[in-house]
Amino acid sequence: MADTGSDKVKTVLRVVSGNFLEMYDFFLFGIFAREISETFFPSDDPYASLMATFLSFAAGFAMRPIGALVLGPYIDRIGRRQGLLVTLAIMACGTILIAFVPGYATIGVIAPVLVVLGRLLQGFSAGVELGGVSVYLSEMATPGNKGFYVSWQSASQQVAVVFAALLGFAIANLMAPEAISEWGWRIPFFIGCAIVPFLYMIRRSLQETKEFAARKVHPTTSQIFATLAADWYLVLGGVAMVIMTTVSFYLITIYTPTFGRRVLNLTESQVLLATMAIAVSNFIWLPISGAVSDRIGRKPILVGFTVLALLTAYPALAWLVREPSFGKMLAVELWLSLIYAWYNGAMVVALTELIPASVRTSGFSLAYSLATTLGGSSLLISTWLIQHTGDKAAPGYWMSFAALCGLIATLALYRRPAGGVQYAAPGNAIGG
């Protein structure tokens, strides 16, 4: 029996549920970076304390390639559904650690060690979560609508950003700063722990994708690695394409609260309102971009919006920092949101099409996770750039570099046949 529209919507919601938890936790780390630094990485130098927090944030991204290499072949071999359950369980362990570990003042050096361990667990699971979700959505999509379906992987993250920002806004306005620093920042993490059982229940009801279930032969782990090695140019090109997405996303969402408070001297409420507006903007533009890419192709969108980023990222930030205001910050961030969302809406589905079907989860996850080790370090890199150049608009240079990577990769990959080498028939091109 054919799936109804209602069935498709329910399936999409089940698939992206874990995506919500991942981005919810990551964004909370950005909102409460100052409080986390004071709790787990205390120092006489606020800059050193904040950098230590951002290093622990970046440590999770360093684990992503390992997660992709370990869990990616498992999902390509065992199935999409089982893989999504495993990643959710590992992610939940990391969330629980960060929520409940006592501070440095209570248990000493064990506190930051356990927090870093929680970030490593989150990074390990996230290394394949995005790939697993994107591949599942691409394989369940109706003909001619793959871009629209896959775009909901990223759109679900925007819901998490809005939810986290609303909680942050409420806490900032209802609690005293001393109470927030002492224990109030933990409340959203406790809420994340509380919704884990619900997310697990709805993911358990997922069925295996018909495309995966119809395959007669599934590759072994060694065959998957051999295929990835043969298609190294696809993985490398995918990394360069994803860098544009991860850098721009983390700059306009995760880094915005810190940038707005420390660099622009705006209030907590102002930066959180701006962040919520960015997430709403992303949520609107992402599925539109995915749907348009289904009609006109992926390449025109990818090329057009990387060029826009190259031309405008630094000038926009330079205009903002000359005379900072809430209105100017909102305008600049919404412009960068437009660029990110249109590029990402076409890029994610493009990557699922470029990677061979037999290793789709492994290849996608490896490319995405390698790129995210750089993109996820945007908080650290941006803070360092501003500190060492004295230029408050310096994060614009970082986004411009990422856009250049995306442009070069797009032009290079779309000169080659899509798909790459299948493990069962080396040298044979496979469509997405």
Count CB neighbours of 375 within 10 A: 24
User: Residue 418 has what pLDDT?
Assistant: 46
pLDDT at 218 over 80: no
Total domains in the chain come to: 1
User: For residue range 370-410, what is the model confidence (pLDDT) as tens digits?
Assistant: 888 888 778 788 888 988 999 999 999 999 999 999 999 99
Instruction: List, for residues 93-152, the tens digit of each pLDDT value.
Output: 888 888 898 988 889 889 888 888 888 888 888 777 777 778 788 888 888 899 999 998
pLDDT band at 2 (very low <50, low <70, confident <90, very high): very low
pLDDT band at 429 (very low <50, low <70, confident <90, very high): very low
- pLDDT tens by residue, 148-206: 999 988 888 888 888 888 888 889 888 998 898 888 989 998 998 888 888 888 777 77
When computed from its CA atoms, the radius of gyration of the chain, rounded to whole angstroms, is 21
Q: Which two tokens stand for residue 157?
A: 């993250």
**What is the token pair recorded at 69?**
């290499």
Give the CATH number, domain containing residue 175.
Answer: 1.20.1250.20
Flag the least confident range among 207-221, 359-373, 406-420. Answer: 207-221
For residue 115, the number of C-alpha atoms closer than 13 Å in the C-beta half-sphere is 29
197 Cβ contact list (under 8 Å, min separation 6): none
Q: Point out which residues pair with 422 in neighbouring strands.
A: 425
Residue 292 pLDDT grade (very low, low, confident, very high; cuts 50, 70, 90)? very high
Mean pLDDT, range 262-276, rounded to an integer: 84
Q: What is the pLDDT of residues 332-350, one digit of tens each?
A: 999 999 999 999 999 999 9
For residue 88, which of 24, 155, 12, 21 has the smallest C-alpha distance? 21
- Is residue 90 pLDDT above 80, yes or no? yes
Percentage of the residues of the chain whose pLDDT score is greater than 70: 91
pLDDT score of 425 more than 60: no
pLDDT-based confidence at residue 427 (cuts at 50, 70, 90): very low
Query: What pLDDT shows up at residue 420?
Result: 42
Residues in the chain, total: 432
Q: Averaging pLDDT over each range in 245-254, 291-300, 423-432, which range is the top one?
A: 291-300
Task: Return the biggest CA–CA distance within the chain.
Answer: 65
Residue 39: per-residue pLDDT: 86
Instruction: State the residue range of the domain holding 281.
Output: 5-429
Whether the CB-CB separation of 245 and 118 falls below 8 Å is answered with no
CA distance 310 to 362: 30
HEC readout, the chain:
CCCCHHHHHHHHHHHHHHHHHHHHHHHHHHHCHHHHHHHHCCCCCHHHHHHHHHHHHHHHHHCHHHHHHHHHHHHHHHCHHHHHHHHHHHHHHHHHHHHHCCCHHHHCCHHHHHHHHHHHHHHHHHHHHHHHHHHHHHHHCCCCCHHHHHHHHHHHHHHHHHHHHHHHHHHHHHCCHHHHHHCHHHHHHHHHHHHHHHHHHHHHCCCCCHHHHCCCCCCCHHHHHHHHHHCHHHHHHHHHHHHHHHHHHHHHCCCHHHHHHHHCCCCHHHHHHHHHHHHHHHHHHHHHHHHHHHHHCHHHHHHHHHHHHHHHHHHHHHHHHHCCCHHHHHHHHHHHHHHHHHHHHHHHHHHHHHCCHHHHHHHHHHHHHHHHHHHCCHHHHHHHHHHHHCCCCCHHHHHHHHHHHHHHHHHHHCCCCCCCEECCEEEEECCC
> pLDDT tens, 7-33?
778 788 777 776 777 778 777 877 787
Q: Quick one: pLDDT at residue 80?
A: 67
Q: What pLDDT band is residue 287 in, cutting at 50, 70 and 90?
A: very high
Per-residue pLDDT band for 242 (boundaries 50, 70, 90) equals very high
Q: How far apart are CA 354 and CA 235, in angstroms?
A: 9
**In this structure, what token pair is assigned to residue 73?**
């072949």
Q: pTM of the full predicted structure?
A: 0.79
pLDDT higher at 131 or 299: 299
Q: How far apart are CA 122 and CA 20, in angstroms?
A: 13
pLDDT tens-digit series, residues 29-78: 777 877 888 888 887 777 777 777 777 777 777 888 888 888 877 777 77
Q: Please report which confidence band the pLDDT of residue 87 belongs to, taking 50, 70 and 90 as the band edges.
A: confident
